[in-house]
Amino acid sequence: MTTQRRATNGTFSGTGQSDPVFGKNLHVRMTFAGTATVTIEQLDPSSGSWITVESYTATPDPNPVIAEDILEFSWRLNCTAYTNDVTYTMIATP
């Protein structure tokens, strides 16, 4: 049985993706040092493709970003445009 990750954190120092987390509810905190675009993506199990749920180009409210679904999914962040570091924390809950 494969264990699914429930939390991850890191820094985007360029474009790229975070490690995925697995759960129904996703809590994300991001801090933008400059200009960047980061999307929250959900894995579509039927197609195997990542689907954009939200997109951010500046620091969200101080409260964490929350995405919810009725089923557990894999979620990730995707930094698609970048000029300065973006630090993040993602926690998925069952």
For the chain, the structural domain boundaries read: 7-93
Q: Is the pLDDT of residue 31 over 70?
A: yes
Sequence-ordered list of residues with C-beta below 8 angstroms from that of 3, at least 6 positions apart, any chain: none
Q: Is the pLDDT of residue 29 over 80?
A: yes
Sequence-ordered list of residues with C-beta below 8 angstroms from that of 60, at least 6 positions apart, any chain: 28, 30
Token pair 């951010």 is found at: 56
pTM, whole model, 2 decimals?
0.87
For domain 7-93, give the CATH number.
2.60.120.510
Query: Which region among 34-38, 44-48, 51-55, 74-78 has the lowest average model confidence (pLDDT)?
Result: 34-38
State how far the Cα of 50 lies from the Cα of 41, in Å rounded to an integer: 6
**Which residue blocks in the chain are alpha helix, DSSP H?**
none
- pLDDT confidence of residue 66: 76
